[in-house]
Amino acid sequence: MKQFGIAESQVERKDPVGNGDLGPDRKVSYIVRLFSDGPDEYDFLLKILSLGRDNYWRESLIQEADLKQGNLVLDIACGTGLLTFQFAKSGSYVIGVDVTREMLQRAKELTRHRICDVDFIQARAENLPLRSDVFDVSSISLAMRNVSSQRETLDEMRRCTRRGSKVMSLDFARPRNLYFRPFYYFYIFRLLPAIGLIISRHWSTIFLYLANSIQRSREPEQIGTTMLQVGLEEPFIKRMTHGVTALVSAKKR
Ligand SMILES: C[S@@+](CC[C@H](N)C(=O)[O-])C[C@H]1O[C@@H](n2cnc3c(N)ncnc32)[C@H](O)[C@@H]1O
Dist CA 205 CA 132 (whole Å)? 37
Dist CA 136 CA 13 (whole Å)? 24
Q: Work out which ligand 1 atom sits closest to the CA atom of 125.
A: 20
pLDDT in tens, 1-36: 544 444 443 333 333 323 334 445 889 999 999 899
Residue 179 alpha carbon to ligand 1 centre in Å: 31
pLDDT in tens, 72-120: 999 999 999 999 999 999 899 999 999 999 999 999 999 988 888 999 9
Same-domain status, 102 and 202: no
Same-domain status, 141 and 204: no
Same-domain status, 137 and 99: yes
Alpha-helical (H) ranges within 200-249 are: 201-215, 220-229
Residue 233's DSSP bridge partners are 251
Q: What is the DSSP letter of 25?
A: -
- Supply angle C-alpha 4, 248, 37, rounded to 5: 70
Same-domain status, 49 and 148: yes
Dist CA 138 CA 104 (whole Å)? 18
Structural domain boundaries, residue 60: 2-173+218-252
Q: First and final CA of the chain: distance in angstroms?
A: 26
Same-domain status, 141 and 187: no
pLDDT in tens, 65-75: 999 999 999 99
Same-domain status, 11 and 108: yes
Identify the pLDDT of residue 196.
85
CB distance 83 to ligand 1 below 6 Å: yes
Identify the pLDDT of residue 37.
86
Residue 55 alpha carbon to ligand 1 centre in Å: 17
Select from 14, 35, 48 the residue to mutate for testing ligand 1; criterion: most ligand atoms less than 8 Å from CB.
Answer: 35
Same-domain status, 71 and 186: no
CB distance 134 to ligand 1 below 6 Å: no
Half-sphere exposure of 134 (CA within 13 A, CB side): 22
Produce one character per residue of 197-236: b if its CB has 16 or more CB atoms within 10 Å, e if not. Answer: eebeeebbbbbebbbeebeebbebeebbebbeebebeebe
Task: Mean pLDDT check: name the lowest of 56-60, 137-141, 204-208.
Answer: 204-208
Q: What is the pTM (predicted TM-score) of this model? A: 0.90
Same-domain status, 212 and 93: no
pLDDT of residue 207 exceeding 60, the answer is yes
Same-domain status, 124 and 195: no
CB distance 147 to ligand 1 below 6 Å: yes
CB distance 103 to ligand 1 below 6 Å: yes
pLDDT of residue 129 exceeding 90, the answer is yes
The 10 Å Cβ neighbour count of residue 132 is: 13
Identify the pLDDT of residue 206.
87
Same-domain status, 195 and 71: no
